[in-house]
Amino acid sequence: MEQKRSSFSGKLGFVLAAAGSAVGLGNIWRFPYLAAKYGGGIFLLVYIILALTFGFALMTAEIAIGRKTGLSPIGAFRALDKRFTFVGYLGALVPMIILPYYSVIGGWVTKYLSVFITGAGNATVSDTYFSTFAGSTIEPLGWFFLYLALTATVVLLGVEKGIEKVSKVMMPVLIVLTLGISIYSLCQPGAIDGLLYYVTPNFSAFSVKTVLAAMGQLFYSMSIAMGILITYGSYMKKDVNLVSSVKQIELFDTGIAFLAGLMIVPAVFAFDPTKLEKAGPSLMFEILPKVFHSMSAGNLIGATFFLLVLFAALTSSISLMETVVSVCQDKFKWNRKISCLAVFAVAIVLGVPSSLGNGLWSNVKLLGMNFLDFFDFISNSVIMPIVALITSIFIGYVIKPKSIIEEVELSAKFKNKALFVTMIKYVAPVFIILILVSSVLNAFGIFKI
Ligand code: PHE
C-alpha cells in the first residue's frame, strides 16, 4: 500500500516541531555544566560562533536533503548516491546510543519531580543527596525504566502530537520560569561574579577542548548529524522558507541554552563555588535544589520546574526513539509494535550500565570514563563529527552545494549562500578532521589537550 507522506502545515508547524526535538536536556542539563566546566564566557563565545557558521550550514544542508528527496535519512542518501547509504545508517546509530543514557537522566528528572511534588524538596539540598541517589542500584534503575516506558508508550501509541501540543504551551512557561529563576539567582550575593564568568570570554581558558566540547554540544543540542533533521525536512513543504526556519530554530535552541546557563552558572557562584571545579552531569541536580530551598514556595517552584523540564525532555526522547523505530520498520520490515519493543529492549540493555555507572559499576571505566560519559563521548565527539564530516564532503564534492542551494531557493533567496559554500566545502571538513583526530588521540592518552 502506498503510504502518503504527511507534511507540516506551514512554517510555524515545522519550526515548532524541530524545536521540540532540539530543545531538551541538552539545553537545560548539558549546556550549563559544560559552560561551567570549560571556562564560562569563552565556551559561550565559541558555541555561538559555531552555531552561526557551522551549525547553520549543517542544519540547512540536512533539512534541504530531506525536503529534496522526501525521504528519511537512509533512503535520502541512497537516492542521492548509492555509495553514501551507509551515512544514513551511521546517523541512525546515534539516536540508539543517546536514547538509553538520555533516559537515565530523564529518570533523574522524574525522580526530582516526584520529590518536589510531595513537598520533600528540602531533602535534596544536602550535598550527598544526589550522589547517594544516583549511586544506589535499584532506585535510579526504576526511574530510568519508568521514563523509557513513558517514551516508548507515546511512540507506540503514536500520540506524540498530544505531547507536542502540551509542550507547546509548556515551553513558553519554561522560558519564563527559567528567566525568573535566573533573575532570582542573580540577586544573591556573589552571583554577579558568576554572571561575569559566564558572559566574559577569558581567552586564557581557551583550548582545543573548548572547541571540541562546544562542537559536540552543538550537534547534540541541535539534533544535527543523526538524520533527524533529514526526516523533518522530508515533511517540509516546498514553499516554506528554509533558511529563515533554520535561523528561528537556532535562535530558539541557543536562547534556551543561554537562559539555562544564566540560571545555573551564577547560582554556582552564589550557592556553592566549589562545584565549579568539578562541574559535571550532576550540576543541575545539585545546584537548583539549593536555589529552590532559599526561596519561599521552593517546593512548588521546584516541582513546576522539573515538570516543565520533563516535558521538554520527553519531546526530545520521543524524537530519538521515533527515528530508530522508523529505521527498524523500513529496514527489517517489522511492524511498529515489534520495532518499538526491540528498540525498548536495546535501550534497556544499553541504559542499565549508564545507570549503574555512578555506583555499583563505578569502577568499570571505558577510556577512563564511566558508562554514561563514554556513551556521550562516542556519540557526540566521535560518530556525530564523522557523520557531519562525510555529509559536508558529500555535499561539497559529490552532489555539490548547488543542489542544496537550488532546493533552498525554491522558497526564497538564499542570502547566506557564500557562507554556506565556504563552510561546507572548506571550513567544516578541515575543522572536523582536526577536532576528531585530537579528540581521539586525547581519549587514548596519546596527546593531551
Ligand atoms: N537535542 C536534544 C536536546 O538538546 C537531544 C536530542 C538529540 C534529541 C538528538 C533528538 C535527537 O536535548
What are the b/e assignments for 8-46, b being 16+ CB within 10 Å? beebebbbbbbbbbbbbbbbbbbbbbbbbbbbbbbbbbb
Q: Is 101 in the pocket of ligand 1 (CB under 6 A)?
A: no
What 8-state DSSP symbol labels residue 4?
P
- At 280 the pLDDT is 86
The label of the residue with cell 526513539 reads 321
Best substitution site from 33, 96, 163, 319 to test ligand 1's pocket, by max atoms within 8 Å of Cβ? 319
User: Rounded to the nearest whole angstrom, what is the distance from the C-alpha of residue 228 to the centroid of ligand 1?
Assistant: 9
Q: Which of 106-115, 218-227, 258-267, 361-370 has the lowest mean pLDDT?
A: 361-370
**pLDDT band at 2; cut points 50, 70, 90:** very low
Mean pLDDT of 290-304: 91
For ligand 1, atom 7, the nearest C-alpha belongs to 223
Give the tens place of pLDDT for each residue, 349-360.
999 989 998 888
Q: Is 95 in the pocket of ligand 1 (CB under 6 A)?
A: yes
Best substitution site from 316, 376, 379 to test ligand 1's pocket, by max atoms within 8 Å of Cβ? 316
Q: Is 323 in the pocket of ligand 1 (CB under 6 A)?
A: no
Q: Is 220 in the pocket of ligand 1 (CB under 6 A)?
A: yes
Measured from the Cα of 22, ligand 1's closest atom is: 1
Measured from the Cα of 24, ligand 1's closest atom is: 12
Q: Is 21 in the pocket of ligand 1 (CB under 6 A)?
A: yes
Q: Which of 134-138, 228-232, 381-385, 445-449 has the lowest mean pLDDT?
A: 445-449
In order of their start, the domains of the chain are 11-443 (1.10.4160)
For ligand 1, atom 9, the nearest C-alpha belongs to 223
What are the b/e assignments for 228-243, b being 16+ CB within 10 Å? bbbbbbbbbeeebbbb
- At 304 the pLDDT is 93
User: Rounded to the nearest whole angstrom, what is the distance from the C-alpha of residue 220 to the centroid of ligand 1?
Assistant: 6
In this structure, is the dihedral angle defined by the CA atoms of residues 420, 215, 30 and 268, taken in order, positive or negative?
A: negative
- At 287 the pLDDT is 93
**pLDDT band at 231; cut points 50, 70, 90:** confident
Q: Is 380 in the pocket of ligand 1 (CB under 6 A)?
A: no
Q: Is 96 in the pocket of ligand 1 (CB under 6 A)?
A: no
Q: What percent of the chain has pLDDT over 70?
A: 98
Q: How many Å apart are CA 246 and CA 1, to the nearest integer?
A: 34
User: Rounded to the nearest whole angstrom, what is the distance from the C-alpha of residue 55 to the centroid of ligand 1?
Assistant: 14
Give the tens place of pLDDT for each residue, 5-33.
566 767 888 888 888 889 999 999 999 99
Q: Is 27 in the pocket of ligand 1 (CB under 6 A)?
A: yes
Mean pLDDT of 234-248: 91
Give the tens place of pLDDT for each residue, 420-440.
999 999 999 998 898 888 877
User: Rounded to the nearest whole angstrom, what is the distance from the C-alpha of residue 223 to the centroid of ligand 1?
Assistant: 5
Q: How many Å apart are CA 224 and CA 228, to the nearest integer?
A: 7
User: Rounded to the nearest whole angstrom, what is the distance from the C-alpha of residue 230 to the centroid of ligand 1?
Assistant: 14
Chain-centre distance for alpha carbon 24: 6
Give the tens place of pLDDT for each residue, 189-202.
989 999 999 999 99
Nearest partner of 152 among 16, 12, 343, 332, judged by Cα: 343
- At 6 the pLDDT is 60
